[in-house]
Structure 1
């Protein structure tokens, strides 16, 4: 009896996509479109905007997960929780295992410099990294609902292809990618950068509601204190796509060594 031939068909990579602007945001649609054909896409994203949620998780009330029809031919779920909740639920309940890569975005607005700390987009990517899932967070420096994602889609695909095609990357790989605002032709290329020391100089604008009770609006201006030409802020200002490798290990190793040497207990 002839032996059955082994299948030589290559297994498709599984691509998990999430965001913090909500499952119906234009940015996540652009991200789905940018990686079509690279693998099996599964979308698990918040059912409403979750910007600025950072690494928050839901513990005080139930999480709901609903299958929705948003993208043609792409299995999609809307989650009542945060971006990090979406990744956790995707791994445990939807995929029942780990995807080959997790993509978050494309965010409406910058996530360069210190913004990575507050970003729901990047927290979703970092959550995947914690689970040993290579991940990339994408952001476009345009807050408009009518933003042009043409260039962002092009560079997202390039970077995803690089990660999927690499065999020796760190299992906790996490990249923070920001794309300049504007037409594709203005972008000069991609720069691997470090995170700039830049932040918002914040103020709280105090006001009164109709009942005379005080409330506050957070305001302020973004200030770059870092004059280096190897930073994400510099790259974006000079029309480069910035790529910053980030990590969830917040240990300050140089200071740790100094304290071990100088502090005696």
Structure 2
């Protein structure tokens, strides 16, 4: 009998978030599941790691039928690192992160704890996928995207994710009948135009609240933003080698 795939599940919204519970329910149908996720929300942490503080790891029982489930006090990247270094006795066949409450398309991949966890797994040679739904509500409905998660995950396991690549999958906020399919696409060029709202605390101390507007600068029809705006699930193959290879030749011509 063939061994079931071992799947590591994590996220950045916290171990009790509905998104990760939905993801776990799908992964339990595919393989043996180990969950290591933050004990509280860690959105926007990017690839942060804990180096000036201690980490705690608590075994919890939220879902029955799991191999093991742990709540970690650290960041999403900490969760992957401690899973590989302290919990697992063999390398997972797949790491899935999410389902994130909110978009991780375009430039958001840089800030995303969800995607940074997937990237950390990829950097360790583990095939990895980050899943996100364009709905920030804690009560977002994930049921209708479960079949799509199942299909993408099975294809990734059967066909293999290319080496040094991690999948960034975003779901539009649409019903299953409205979703047209999956588009494999590139990351749109976009940015955040940010401001800081200056406020005064009841004790008279100044503090700031970050605000921002997402600006899509890309008019291409081969991007994740276009796909999501037009009823498709976007799948962007993300490469964690950040070298600008096409620039090397021209920079070598400089007088250095």
Q: Of 178, 181, 204, which aligns to 1:186?
A: 178
- Indicate yes or no: 2:91 matched with 1:98: yes
Separation of aligned partners in 1, 2:47 and 2:137: 24
Which of residues 22, 38, 43 is equivalent to 1:51? 43
1:6 aligned residue: none
Aligned to 2:147: 154
Unaligned 5+ residue runs, structure 1? 1-8
The equivalent residue for 2:188 is 196
Larger CA deviation: 146-155 vs 79-88:
146-155
Distance 2:101 2:187 in 1: 19
Q: Does structure 1 retain, via aligned residues, the 8 Å contact 2:6–2:31?
A: yes
Distance 1:243 1:264 in 2: 41
- The correspondence of residues 95-134 of structure 1 with structure 2, limited to 5 A, is 95-134=88-127
Partner of 1:72: 64
Matches within 5 A, 1:29-44: 29-44=21-36
1:250 and 1:55 mapped to 2: Cα distance?
14
Q: Per-residue CA shift, 1:34-80, capped at 9, x if unaligned? A: 22221101100000000000000011111111110111111210001
* 1:248, distance to aligned residue in structure 2 (A): 1.4
Secondary structure of 1:186's aligned partner? coil
The 2-side partners of 1:171 and 1:230 are apart by 23
Partner Cα separation in structure 2 for residue 156 and residue 72 of structure 1: 21
Give the superposition deviation at 1:23.
0.4
Cross-structure match for 2:14? 22
Aligned with residue 205 of structure 2, among 199, 210, 213: 213
**What is the 5 A alignment of 1:228-243?**
228-243=220-235
Q: Distance in 1 between matches of 2:63 and 2:164?
A: 29
Could you state the TM-score of these two structures normalised by the residue count of structure 2?
Answer: 0.97
User: How far is the alpha carbon of 1:251 from its aligned partner?
Assistant: 0.6
Q: Structure 1 residues 106-115 or 68-77, which shifts more?
A: 68-77
Contact 2:13 2:100 in 1 (8 A): yes
SS of residue paired to 1:86: helix
Secondary structure, aligned partner of 2:77: helix
**Deviations 1:217-248 (CA, angstroms, capped at 9, x unpaired):** 11121111000000000000011000000021
Contact 1:148/1:183 (<8 A) preserved: no
Tell me, in whole angstroms, the C-alpha distance in 1 between the residues paired with 2:111 and 2:170: 15
| Alignment root-mean-square deviation, CA | 1.0
